[in-house]
Amino acid sequence: MGLRLVDAGNIVNAADTGGLVIITQLQPITVIFTIPEDSIPAVLERLGRGVRLPVEAYDREQRRKLAEGALLTIDNQVDPTTGTVRLKAQFPNTDNRLFPSQFVNARLLIETRRGATVVPTAAIQQSPRGSFVYVLRPDRTVGVHQVGVGVTDGDDVSIEKGLQVGEQVVVEGAERLRDGAAIALRNGP
């Protein structure tokens, strides 16, 4: 549908950059966001099966959820400078909490894993042999555990192998540790 406005004998077309009015749809509204290219196969697989992928929009600090919507489409090319692909999600926006050009953080739910072992991403260390964590032993020393890292969600990451439920991991000061080092526990933040 084209839009034609008449202004005192001048015709303004929708393609004119100096138009009189810009009309933006608010309900529903769309949000464009990116994901890493490594996530493309999982998204495409679920879209191919007709699975509705939920998307949540959060405020700048990622503390307050503004809206819930669903993935509409995925771009057909990866940005080579960032290694990401653009996606578009649609939100009903019946309460007008989303606004055009507003900055939001989008979170796409690709899958839910029940019973996963989860640690803060700060606990994950890297070595030439792969990812590892320092685990607290009963004698207040630490041991190195090679781990298989899974899905990351914000500040948390799932551990696929190498860590048992209930084991405590070091999240601060790991750069000064080595296998068998004694540590002092700090209570509270």
Residues facing 109 on adjacent strands = none
CATH class of 117-176: mainly beta
User: Tell me: the pLDDT tens digits for 38-68?
Assistant: 889 999 999 999 999 999 999 999 899 999 9
pLDDT recorded at residue 4:
44
CATH class of 22-108: mainly beta
Distance from C-alpha of 112 to C-alpha of 151, rounded to nearest angstrom: 10
- List the domain boundaries for the chain: 22-108, 117-176
Q: Which residues of the chain have pLDDT under 50?
A: 1-2, 4-7, 189
Token pair, residue 123, equals 């606990």
Residue 106 near residue 88, CB atoms below 8 Å = no
| Backbone dihedral region for residue 114 (phi beyond 0: left; psi -120 to 50: alpha; all else: beta) | beta
pLDDT recorded at residue 138:
92
Distance from C-alpha of 131 to C-alpha of 136, rounded to nearest angstrom: 17
Distance from C-alpha of 168 to C-alpha of 123, rounded to nearest angstrom: 10
pLDDT recorded at residue 6:
45
pLDDT recorded at residue 111:
83
